[in-house]
């Protein structure tokens, strides 16, 4: 029985397989090319928004966070065009650099422009942050800060050959407005700072006169004095409540402060701030205002002793003058001498009283030189203890007081109270001589002629 249908010899099978493989390869080449998509229109389109806090105070070091969005969309999309899918789309911004500028003398941008790379379109975003100094002179209101964007984007795609794709890029620059707000705040000016008896190592007072120069009225206001860094002026009672502090008003405040020891004679800074309630009921603090306060150096004294000499084995009273070389009055001053061998001072403290600048007072000390004291000049430390203007006890630096032990002038001088003993001896000699003369006289009268 004869067979019907497709028939062929075995020699024709390899040829058929080769033909089918060729068709498959052609299909693989044509199909991807026919599926390529070309976007004929569109470009990057940017918008900028401040995220987080966008309200700042005068004098503040602010950080402004900005969300930049590329919402560029395609205008035309063509299918089955060319054989290569483009890497960059018309809405992609390439190599973007974003910089914020102040737009006002009252705002200072401290951050340089930032390179953020590529930003694709269709709503892709990037966040940039800038450090901005708000001037203390900035008034309440809105401020516009220009945000500059520089980038490139694909303009034309040309496919001259099946395996060659040419890109053409366009340079672009956009400027977007960024708006921040400066909230109203009390702004102060220290008109004067008058110290009262401020000296190194002591406590005293400073009187401040302060004006509200800002547009905002302060309610329930308190004026606070703060230490400025490592300033030697340290506030003790540092807050004064002033109540309502309207714009343009002036208040007087008095503060007790302490001065570190060994502070030289010059002016030193302190900071002043005002804490108050604003029109929205929030507690706000003004920017610090720095003012200099003059401080006199440490109160100094000088001991002025007369030439003080004493022989060994005797006692003597000496006088020492103390002079206040400082710039303020000291109160209840007392002088003290610290004795050491071979000279002793039984009562080494003397009351001087109150001493105004340049005034002197005299202290008297009884000194006793030991019999074994070598003839030479001895130096003794003397100090002045006193109370400052606030009643605190203070002590001066050591003051030298010199006493010279002389050589013995006679054998009598080595006896305590040598001069009186010498006088007595002379008187006794005179009396004895008188008795001798009287005896000779009487004997001569009784002798026979």
Tens digit of each residue's pLDDT (9 = 90 or more) over 35-85: 455 555 578 999 999 999 999 988 889 999 999 999 887 655 554 555 555
Residue 60: the pLDDT is 86
pLDDT at 214 over 60: yes
Looking at the fold, whether 129 and 171 belong to one and the same domain comes out as: yes
Q: Is residue 436 part of a domain?
A: no
Split into its structural domains, the chain has a count of: 3
Residue 187: the pLDDT is 87
Q: Is residue 25 part of a domain?
A: no
- Which of the pair, 331 or 122, is modelled with greater confidence? 331
Looking at the fold, whether 151 and 228 belong to one and the same domain comes out as: no
Looking at the fold, whether 56 and 178 belong to one and the same domain comes out as: yes
Residue-by-residue DSSP string for 139-165: PSEEEEEEEEEEEEEEEEEEEEETTEE
**End-of-domain residue from the set 131, 148, 182:** 182
Supply the pTM of this predicted model: 0.61
Looking at the fold, whether 72 and 146 belong to one and the same domain comes out as: yes
Q: How far apart are CA 68 and CA 96, in angstroms?
A: 11
Looking at the fold, whether 118 and 178 belong to one and the same domain comes out as: yes
Residue 417: the pLDDT is 46
Give the residue numbers spanning the domain of 276: 188-295
Q: How far is CA 336 from CA 257, 282, 378, 443, in A?
A: 29, 59, 16, 65
Q: Taking the alpha carbons of 343, 344, 350, 355 in that order, is the dihedral positive or negative? A: positive
Closest Cα to residue 58, out of 184, 147, 173?
A: 184
Token duo for residue 258 = 């302490």
Beta sheet of 343-344, edge-to-edge order: 301-304, 315-324, 360-369, 343-344
pLDDT at 140 over 90: no
Q: How far apart are CA 425 and CA 415, in angstroms?
A: 13
Q: Is residue 123 part of a domain?
A: yes
Confidence of residue 87 (pLDDT cuts 50, 70, 90): low
Looking at the fold, whether 52 and 162 belong to one and the same domain comes out as: yes
Confidence of residue 410 (pLDDT cuts 50, 70, 90): low
The pLDDT of 274-294, averaged and rounded, is 89
Question: CB within 8 A of 54, min separation 6: which ones?
Answer: 64, 179, 180, 181
Looking at the fold, whether 232 and 280 belong to one and the same domain comes out as: yes
Q: Taking the alpha carbons of 23, 29, 35, 41 in that order, is the dihedral positive or negative? A: negative
| CATH number for position 330 | 2.60.40.10
**Cross-strand bridge partners of residue 324:** 301
């Amino acid at each position: 029985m004869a067979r019907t249908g497709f028939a062929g010899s075995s020699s024709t099978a390899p040829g058929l397989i080769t033909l089918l493989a060729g068709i498959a390869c052609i299909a693989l080449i044509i199909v991807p090319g026919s599926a390529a998509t070309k976007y004929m229109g569109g470009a990057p389109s940017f918008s900028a928004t401040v995220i987080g806090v966008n309200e700042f105070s005068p004098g503040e070091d602010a950080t402004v966070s900005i969300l930049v969005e590329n919402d560029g969309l395609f205008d035309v999309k063509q299918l089955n065009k060319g054989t290569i899918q483009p890497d960059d789309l018309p809405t992609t911004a390439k190599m973007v650099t974003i910089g914020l500028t102040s737009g006002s003398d009252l705002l200072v941008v401290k951050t340089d422009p930032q390179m953020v790379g590529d930003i694709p379109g269709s709503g892709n975003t990037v966040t940039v942050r800038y450090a901005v100094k708000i001037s203390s002179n900035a008034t309440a209101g809105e401020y516009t800060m220009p945000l500059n964007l520089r980038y490139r984007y694909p303009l034309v795609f040309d496919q001259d050959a099946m395996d060659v794709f040419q890109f053409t890029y366009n340079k672009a620059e956009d400027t977007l407005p960024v708006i921040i707000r400066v909230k109203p705040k009390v702004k102060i000016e220290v008109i004067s700072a008058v110290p009262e008896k401020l000296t190194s190592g002591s406590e005293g007072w400073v009187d401040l006169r302060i004006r509200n120069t800002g547009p905002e009225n302060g309610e329930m206001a308190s004026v606070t004095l703060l230490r400025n860094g490592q300033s030697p002026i340290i506030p003790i009672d540092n807050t004064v409540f002033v109540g309502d502090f309207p714009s343009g008003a002036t208040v007087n405040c008095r503060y007790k402060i302490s001065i570190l020891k060994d502070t030289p004679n010059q002016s030193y800074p302190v900071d002043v701030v005002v804490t108050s309630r604003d029109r929205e009921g929030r507690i706000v603090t003004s920017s610090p205002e720095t003012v200099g306060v003059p401080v006199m150096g440490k109160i100094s004294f000088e001991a002025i002793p007369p030439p003080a000499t004493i022989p060994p084995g005797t006692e003597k009273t000496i006088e020492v003058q103390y002079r206040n070389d400082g710039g303020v009055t000291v109160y209840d001053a007392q002088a003290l001498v610290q004795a050491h061998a071979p000279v002793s001072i039984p009562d080494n403290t003397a009351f001087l009283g109150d001493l105004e600048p340049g005034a002197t007072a005299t202290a008297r000390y009884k000194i006793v030189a030991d019999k074994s004291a070598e003839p030479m000049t001895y130096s003794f430390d003397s100090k002045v203890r006193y109370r400052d203007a606030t009643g605190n006890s203070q002590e001066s630096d050591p003051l030298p007081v010199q006493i010279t032990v002389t050589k013995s002038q006679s054998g009598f001088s080595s006896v305590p109270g040598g001069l009186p003993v010498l006088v007595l001896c002379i008187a006794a000699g005179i009396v004895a001589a008188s008795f001798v003369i009287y005896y000779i006289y009487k004997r001569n009268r009784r002798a026979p002629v």
